[in-house]
Amino acid sequence: MTVAWTPPALPPLDPALAARLRALVDGKAKPPGALGRIEDLAVQIGLIQNRPDPRVDRAAVLVFAGDHGLNEEGVSPYPSAVTAAMVGLFLSGRASVNAFAAAIGADVRVIDVGVAADLPGHPALTVAKVRVGTRNAAREPAMSETECAAALQAGFDAAQAAVRGGAEAVALGEMGIGNTAAASLVLHRLGPAPLADCVGAGAGHDAEGIARKAAVLARAAARSDAVEPFDVLRQFGGYEIAAIAGAALGAAALRAPVVVDGFIAGAGVLAAARMVPELAGFCVFAHRSAERGHALMLEALGARPLLDLGLRLGEGTGAVLAIPLLRAAARLVTDVADLSEVVGSP
């Protein structure tokens, strides 16, 4: 297969700087290791940003939106029209992600890469629509190669614009009715993991709905034997999932920490990490979702999430909640006194 999108090379992470950052953190006015994983996070942020004085004062929250032809098969209890309605709610500033972002002083930008509706213009909306929803992946590839590449590029461009605009970290979220189904298929192939272990309740299925969803996804999986990340995205993914993959690589290429939300955002990052394995070092995994399959996804990525709050909403909510931890970790390096200032030099 000819891959229609070439992922970027990521900048190397400097082991000498890692050692310097670790020494800085260990030398603060506290016992070594007393702040646990916050210390590791401080080192990681400095390493990603390639500076001994990391900063995460400004964070961009990017919510990618797209619809799924697979929803024709009843993989969600909600109709696809809810995607556009929720995008409208984001733009009104009244969704959960907006409330959480306001609480930490961040702005939300929505990127329409495949909503099956014409959205009115708004200052917080970027229109990068590839198509009005993917095709039905149970019957045919969700996207063409050209469409998948366009979605990857849209995400890449959005993240790069955010970082060039001053964002010191990029939080990734999504909206798309039916996208837990697409994410389940991505995990199944790229984990890899048994399909039955990847299928959960999504937006609220009961046991009968989960069984129906599993049967549809089994048909979709049987339709294609794709295992390469680009091909898996175009066969089974969504425009917003592909855009998240591109966004993760776009932010990392400019040395911005990538703050990954839950199951669906994780599917995009999993695809990107299978393209460029070095990406994992640039990612901070915000939380462990309550969605079935997310634990397997985190395991496939070798990830340790910061939070475990039983979240399963998406939108980027978990990623936004993790931003204060990144800010605190960075300030550990820059704002906390050295131990020598307290006890004197030996």
**Alpha-carbon distance 65 to 134, whole Å?**
12
Q: Which residues contact 81 (CB under 8 A, 6 or more apart)?
A: 116, 117
Structure tokens at 30: 């506290």
**Alpha-carbon distance 224 to 75, whole Å?**
19
Say if CB 232 and CB 226 are below 8 A apart: yes
Give the domain extent around 35: 15-54+332-343
Write b or e for each residue in 64-100: b if 16 or more Cβ atoms lie within 10 A of its Cβ, otherwise e: bbbbbbbbebebbeeebebbbebbbbbbeeebbbbeb
Structure tokens at 64: 């990618």
Residue 283 pairs with which residues in a beta bridge? 258
Structure tokens at 234: 């175009």
6 lies in some domain: no
State whether 29 and 106 are in the same domain.
no
Mean pLDDT across 193-204: 85
**Single pTM value for the model:** 0.96
2 lies in some domain: no
Which is the catalytic residue, given 147, 278, 315, 341?
Answer: 315
Predicted confidence at residue 42, as pLDDT, reads 98
Q: Into how many domains does the chain fold? A: 2
State whether 283 and 170 are in the same domain.
yes
Q: Which residues contact 200 (CB under 8 A, 6 or more apart)?
A: 180, 184, 210, 263, 291, 292, 293
Establish whether 208 is a catalytic residue.
no
State whether 39 and 141 are in the same domain.
no
Whether the pLDDT of residue 257 is over 70: the answer is yes
Q: Looking at residue 284, which CATH number applies to its domain?
A: 3.40.50.10210
4 lies in some domain: no
Predicted confidence at residue 165, as pLDDT, reads 98
**150-194, pLDDT tens digit by residue?**
999 999 999 999 999 999 999 999 999 999 999 999 999 999 999
State whether 48 and 65 are in the same domain.
no
Whether the pLDDT of residue 2 is over 60: the answer is no
* C-alpha distances out from residue 249 to 161, 187, 236, Å: 13, 19, 20
State whether 31 and 114 are in the same domain.
no
Confidence of residue 304 (pLDDT cuts 50, 70, 90): very high
